Amino acid sequence: MKILDKYLLKTFLITFTTVFVILFFIFILQTIWLFIAELAGKDLDLPLIVKFLMFSMPRIVPLVLPLSVLLASIMTFGNLAENYEFAAMKSSGISLQRAMRSLTVFIVLLSIIAFFFANNVIPFAEYKFINFRKNIAQLKPAMAITEGQFSEVGYYNIKVNKKSGENGNKLTGITIHKKAMNGDGSKTVIKAKDGELISSEESSILQLVLNNGNYYEDITPKKYTDRKKLPFAKSAFKKYTINIDLSQLNNVDVDDEKVNNSNTMLTVNELNYTLDSLHKNYKTELASYSENINQRTTIQDQTFNDLPNKELVKKRKKLPLDILSLYDTNKKSQILGTASSNLSSIGYTIDGSKINLQVKKKNINNHLLALYDKFVIAYACLMMFFIGAPLGAIIRKGGLGLPIIFAVLIFITFHFINTFGKRFAQENGMTPFMGSWMSSIVLTPLAILLTYRATNDIGLINIDVIFSPIQKTLQKLLYKITPNKKNATENGRK
């Protein structure tokens, strides 16, 4: 490796590492902010918090890595151009492509590493992260309940005056509101002087044992007039045990998240295998639905084929436009009633099947998006380098001023288009391939254009292209005006 390559690689690596660490720290703070409700006031010790953050860190890399490459490229090549180092290289016969050669090899290697990171590390960390959020309640069951306020735990809203004990398992001054199963508010209130949370790592059930309390339940009479009396049942207890599903703790909706985000926990091979199963299941469901509708639209009631005059109908070559005229009034009423009920039933079936198929299709789209994202992050690193390096050479500014402005604008554009494309693809507005690759497709021409202009020493904006037509138009107008003035002057002299 030549001295120039070592110098450029060293300069870029120092800048890239610094920018990556700073941006990674900023995004970690954003993660803490997003999950502050799960971390603050939950009696979690430092190792659990660190573990929580460690599992959430890999998901930040796809955001930080392309932005770091872009900003480091602009800053590195901007400094070289600002300090006239590029001018010295060009005077020695070294072109921009030659200067970018060693860094291009490094970026290609970085893109390959980014792909393997997205394919292996991020799915593993995502799996650990989601399961850690689920199982943390078994380690610290009292973390789901905050002192002095109601905490939603599954179908219960629990308020305690004080928590004590080694893990906060001892509760004092307990008030519980149980939600109605039909969603009709809270019909049950439980009050107890004290209680204890009991959990086990082998069990998925958390037990809340209450001592010395009362149980109140509103009763809904069948007669509407009796409901104004607001009847209720009351009972006292010395010991009462409530079993709570641990998956509902922390209000994290772990089960839902697993269903919606299971694609982020799979590698490329696992995604391909899952997608094959999902496609087969979708086609089977669609075929079954079509067959069901076909059978339901076929009239199987033989009584409707009992025409008043069969011989006359057989002799007819064509049925009349008003086919109901072949039947008497009772038959017409029967046919229309059956048709109406069949149409209503089929309509409900179509609506239900449509929603079911849309959910399955959305699940397929999410898996496809997760598959393409692993390749997009690798290509994004390469693309951002070919945007940042020529741009830095053109603007000839290093440091943290102008490069940050350009980097933020480009990255926001990339991230906005990427997010928009994914959301649109999830709802079948476009193919998942286009949704994932839209941002790269839009910004790739910019990378090609900037590389071309920087290679040919053309500025960021060619002012001559804008002002040259205006200048030519003004010259023509002046040329027309000037001869007329000369002719008028000569005539005056004569």
Task: Encode pLDDT of 105-140 as tens digits.
Answer: 999 999 999 999 988 888 888 888 777 766 665 555
Q: How many other C-beta atoms can be found within 10 angstroms of the C-beta atom of residue 338?
A: 13
Computed over its alpha carbons, how large is the radius of gyration of the chain?
A: 36
Q: What is the pTM of this model?
A: 0.65
Amino acid occupying residue 54: M
Closest CA to 82 of 448, 426, 399: 399
pLDDT of the residue at 140 = 58
Q: Which residue has the higher pLDDT, 374 or 248?
A: 374
Q: How many other C-beta atoms can be found within 10 angstroms of the C-beta atom of residue 73?
A: 29
Give per-residue pLDDT as tens, 257-281: 443 446 778 888 888 888 888 888 8
> Residues in the chain, how many?
494
**DSSP bridge partners of 147:** 160
Q: How much is the average pLDDT of 200-215?
A: 77
Q: Output the CA–CA distances (angstroms, integers) from residue 473 to 217, 468, 469, 470, 476, in the order listed.
A: 89, 9, 6, 5, 5
Listed range (3-17, 65-79, 116-130, 169-183) with the worst mean pLDDT: 169-183
Per the CB < 8 A criterion, the answer to whether 392 and 103 are in contact is no
Residue 283 CA to chain centroid, in angstroms? 26
On the question of pLDDT at 162 being above 90, the answer is no
Q: Which residue has the higher pLDDT, 326 or 331?
A: 331
Q: Output the CA–CA distances (angstroms, integers) from residue 145 to 33, 97, 157, 207, 263, in the order listed.
A: 20, 61, 9, 14, 31
pLDDT of the residue at 259 = 37
Closest CA to 440 of 408, 415, 406, 423: 415
Separation between Cα atoms, residue 389 and residue 199, nearest integer Å? 57
Q: What share of the chain is helix, strand, coil (3-state, %, to 5)?
A: 70, 15, 20
pLDDT of the residue at 344 = 76
Separation between Cα atoms, residue 467 and residue 78, nearest integer Å? 27
Per the CB < 8 A criterion, the answer to whether 356 and 285 are in contact is yes
Residues with Cβ within 8 Å of 250's Cβ and at least 6 positions away in sequence, in order, are 38, 133, 136, 137, 143, 144
Separation between Cα atoms, residue 358 and residue 360, nearest integer Å? 5
Separation between Cα atoms, residue 6 and residue 467, nearest integer Å? 43
Per the CB < 8 A criterion, the answer to whether 227 and 220 are in contact is yes
Place of tokens 């000037």: 482
Residue 42 CA to chain centroid, in angstroms? 28
Give per-residue pLDDT as tens, 381-392: 999 999 988 888
pLDDT of the residue at 494 = 52
Q: How many other C-beta atoms can be found within 10 angstroms of the C-beta atom of residue 164?
A: 12
Separation between Cα atoms, residue 389 and residue 94, nearest integer Å? 16
Separation between Cα atoms, residue 148 and residue 41, nearest integer Å? 11
Place of tokens 């890999």: 58
Helix (H) or strand (E) holding 215: strand 205-218
Separation between Cα atoms, residue 341 and residue 12, nearest integer Å? 73
Give per-residue pLDDT as tens, 232-246: 778 888 888 888 765
Q: What is the DSSP letter of 89?
A: H
Q: Which residue has the higher pLDDT, 224 or 419?
A: 419
Q: How much is the average pLDDT of 6-12?
A: 87
Helix (H) or strand (E) holding 206: strand 205-218
Q: How much is the average pLDDT of 360-385?
A: 89
pLDDT of the residue at 366 = 87
Per the CB < 8 A criterion, the answer to whether 391 and 71 are in contact is no
Separation between Cα atoms, residue 331 and residue 222, nearest integer Å? 42
Token digits of residue 39: 């971390």
